A = this chain, B = another copy of it.
C-alpha cells in the first residue's frame, strides 16, 4: 500500500469514497484509479483489496454485478443505500482524524 503505516485502516474509506464518486467500479480499476489519483504514492495491493471488497459486500455495503469484457471477467461493485450512508460516516471520521492529528501535532493552532 505504502511504506507509511498511516494508511492502515484507510482502505475501506478509500474504496467507499471511490465508489461514491464513480458509481460502479471493478477491483483492478480501483487499484489503477488510486495509483493515478495519488501519482503513484499509493498502491493498493490485491491481497488487501479483494478481501476488503468481499467483506464490504458481506456487510451489505456493496452490491456486485459480474460482467464479461473481452472474454475476461469483471466484478463491478456499487454502493448500496447502507453503503452510501456508511460512506458519509467514513468521510466524517477522516475529517475528524485529520483535525485531531493536527491538534496533536500543532497544538498552537488548536
- How many monomers of this chain does the complex have? 2
Beta-carbon nearest neighbor of A6 in chain B: B97
B93 touches A4 (CB 8 A): yes
Contact residues of A: prevailing secondary structure: helix
B5 touches A9 (CB 8 A): yes
* Tier of interface size on chain A: 20 to 34
Would you give the shortest CB distance from A39 to chain B, in whole angstroms?
8
Name the segment of A53-61, A62-70, A99-107 touching the other chain.
A99-107
Chain A residues at the B interface, C-beta cutoff of 8 Å:
4-10, 12-14, 17-18, 21, 34, 37-38, 41-42, 91, 93-94, 96-98, 100-101, 103-105, 107, 110
